[in-house]
Structure 1
Amino acid sequence: MADTTFILLIRHGENEYVANHKLAGRTPGVHLNDRGRAQAEALVKLLEEQPLAAIYSSPLVRCVETARPLAAARNLPVIEEPAFLEVDYGDWHGADLRELAKLPEWRKVQHTPSTFRFPNGESLREVQNRAVAGVEMVRQRHPNEVVAVFAHGDVIRTTLAHYLGAPLDLFQRIVVQTASISVLAFHDGAPSILAMNWTATLPKLEIKTDPAAAAHPTDGSAPSGDATAVIATAERR
């Protein structure tokens, strides 16, 4: 039988580092600010119709704080997963982005990120590899379910680039705002992207068995060839 999994990639809410143009990275103790807490509460309403089965999060506190209101509303635990941890920016942690933009290395980050390693930190290729491995782990663990994953901007953008089939050197073209939602769908393991940088109420995601629809899907996907396949539909509301 075919299986479908939806994964919602959700960026954490705003914090003072975002508001002040600083690179938080893995700096400990970076909490949501007032706007970030409001964004986290708003996600409860935005996702109220989604049949969430599990909630994963980067272990960093700003991600966990963004996930908690939704987890409380659904009576689900927040599963902390290191695969979704923020980039290790090394010596750049806590720096002002406006000052970093003046460095010659900044051009590499923007135009050839696949060749760049942050000083005493990670390469973006390593970030993409571990994040995609995390998504694949979640997909395999949750067949026929909808799962939320709370992570960080560059983690989400490099992941989306992978599933778009876009070169890592173009990932900077993808915009992922705080508390935005991007939606990956996997049908029999084959990925598709249903939404990126969504900040309004999502179409309702449903997973259901419908033999007729499996043979003649209405969502633009190819027929599965299995009359008892599990299919996914997205209804705009």
Structure 2
Amino acid sequence: MVVTQVFFIRHGSTDSADKRLTGWSRGVHLNARGQAQAEALPGRLARVPLEAIYSSPLERALETALPLATAKGLKVRQRHGLIELNTGEWTGRSLRALARLKHWRVVQTAPSVARFPGGESLREAQARAVAELEALQEEHPKGAIAVVSHGDIIKLAIAHYAGLHIDLFQRLVIAPGSISLVHFDSGSPRIVRLNDVGAWEDGVARSAAPGAGPAKV
């Protein structure tokens, strides 16, 4: 049996989480809680013989990956396919202001037909994330790798591998600093663990705020 183990890690907490749509914004760093979440990763994955660590090129993801890479003696390999949703003209805008827009409801309720103005559609984001993951599986036909990315990208990828329609992907919860595990047995995916937050939330992830949508952090 040939199994590739992919550990999906959402980057740690940032101060922008409930304030604005950060998208591809540069200069968004982990806050103190996010740094603590990142520093906890080596202990949480101490028994996992990772052979590679891949990350979104955004700072908040790289900062999350670094402590794990240091502990494992590995380099962080950046992959653009793992980057956050391209939210286009909405990047940097406050969530409160966006919530008043009619198109925001489309993004919330019908992701399959939603596109961020001047950015990408959620279908496009899912397709490029899955394409990146398929390439990584070919590079690592067996063994374990870590993929550090963003909440909605991880949800879109796991929804794809779980056979969940994209319009339902927001039913998944991927908290900051969480670990999810998917086994690929000769290409066939198995969702082994989802949204494991360890001791940080006493085993219970905090729910997203009511009405909260994609690409918040």
Using the TM superposition, give the Cα deviation of residue 186 of structure 1 relative to its aligned residue in structure 2, in angstroms.
0.5
For residues 59-108 of structure 1, give each alpha carbon's deviation from its aligned partner in whole angstroms, at most 9, with x where no partner exists. Answer: 00110000000000010000000010111001111122222122111211
Look up the equivalent residue of 2:3 and give its one-letter code: T
What is the match of residue 12 of structure 2?
13
Look up the equivalent residue of 1:143 and give its one-letter code: P
For residues 187 and 31 of structure 2, the distance between their equivalents in structure 1, rounded to whole angstroms, comes to 38
State which of 197, 205, 212 in structure 2 corresponds to 1:199: 197
What is the match of residue 61 of structure 1?
59
For residues 96 and 149 of structure 2, the distance between their equivalents in structure 1, rounded to whole angstroms, comes to 23
SS of 1:178's equivalent in the other structure is: coil
1:109-128 alignment runs, 5 A limit: 109-128=107-126
What is the match of residue 38 of structure 2?
40
What is the match of residue 74 of structure 1?
72
Using the TM superposition, give the Cα deviation of residue 137 of structure 1 relative to its aligned residue in structure 2, in angstroms.
0.9
What is the match of residue 216 of structure 1?
none
For residues 170 and 99 of structure 2, the distance between their equivalents in structure 1, rounded to whole angstroms, comes to 14
SS of 1:156's equivalent in the other structure is: helix
Using the TM superposition, give the Cα deviation of residue 200 of structure 1 relative to its aligned residue in structure 2, in angstroms.
1.4
Identity of aligned residues (%): 48
Q: What RMSD, in angstroms, separates the aligned Cα atoms of the two structures?
A: 1.1
For residues 36 and 23 of structure 1, the distance between their equivalents in structure 2, rounded to whole angstroms, comes to 18
After the TM superposition, which parts of structure 1 deviate over 3 Å for at least 4 consecutive aligned residues? none
Using the TM superposition, give the Cα deviation of residue 109 of structure 1 relative to its aligned residue in structure 2, in angstroms.
1.0
Look up the equivalent residue of 1:92 and give its one-letter code: W
Q: Mark the runs of 5 or more structure 2 residues left unpaired by the alignment.
A: 200-217
TM-score (norm 1): 0.82
What is the match of residue 92 of structure 2?
94
What is the match of residue 232 of structure 1?
none
Using the TM superposition, give the Cα deviation of residue 16 of structure 1 relative to its aligned residue in structure 2, in angstroms.
1.5
Using the TM superposition, give the Cα deviation of residue 23 of structure 1 relative to its aligned residue in structure 2, in angstroms.
1.3
Look up the equivalent residue of 2:172 and give its one-letter code: I
For residues 171 and 10 of structure 1, the distance between their equivalents in structure 2, rounded to whole angstroms, comes to 17
Larger radius of gyration: 1
TM-score (norm 2): 0.89
Q: How many residues align?
A: 199
For residues 21 and 170 of structure 1, the distance between their equivalents in structure 2, rounded to whole angstroms, comes to 24
Q: Mark the runs of 5 or more structure 1 residues left unpaired by the alignment.
A: 202-237
1:1-237 alignment runs, 5 A limit: 2-18=1-17, 20-200=18-198
For residues 70 and 79 of structure 1, the distance between their equivalents in structure 2, rounded to whole angstroms, comes to 12
SS of 1:24's equivalent in the other structure is: coil
What is the match of residue 213 of structure 1?
none
SS of 2:198's equivalent in the other structure is: coil
For residues 50 and 20 of structure 2, the distance between their equivalents in structure 1, rounded to whole angstroms, comes to 33
For residues 66 and 9 of structure 1, the distance between their equivalents in structure 2, rounded to whole angstroms, comes to 12
For residues 77 and 193 of structure 2, the distance between their equivalents in structure 1, rounded to whole angstroms, comes to 23
